[in-house]
Amino acid sequence: MAENQEDKQATSVPEKALRERVEEALDQIRPAIEMDGGYVELGEIVDGVAYVEMKGACGSCPSSAMTLKAGIERVIMEQVPEIRSVEAI
């Protein structure tokens, strides 16, 4: 039983660190998004894909897909090379 718990802890630490790094990247671009009345929230990270939810004004904005790919995805992938794609929830 102790081995299983150690295995879970071993995998959760890198996942937690990866999530923190993605959040740090998002924190750099959130002020610009918030200036337009929107917000971006990190959901899951699965197999190198970070899933984000665009909220507020960004949730219904027709340009949100471009903001996601040209802005958010670019910044995250530059700072967190383990992330290979960013997709909307």
Q: What is the pLDDT of residues 24-81, one digit of tens each?
A: 999 999 999 999 898 999 999 999 999 999 998 887 878 888 888 888 999 999 999 9
Name the band, by pLDDT with cuts 50, 70 and 90, for residue 13: low
Domain boundaries, the chain: 2-88
Which fold would CATH assign to domain 2-88? GMP Synthetase; Chain A, domain 3 (3.30.300)
* Pairwise CA distance, residues 27 & 4, whole Å: 34
Which residues sit opposite 73 in a β-bridge? Answer: none
* Complete DSSP assignment for 40-89: EEEEEEETTEEEEEEEEHHHH-TTHHHIIIIIIIHHHHHH-TT--EEEE-
Report the pLDDT value the prediction gives residue 4, as an integer from 0 to 100: 46
Highest mean pLDDT among 7-11, 69-73, 83-87: 83-87
pTM of the model: 0.80
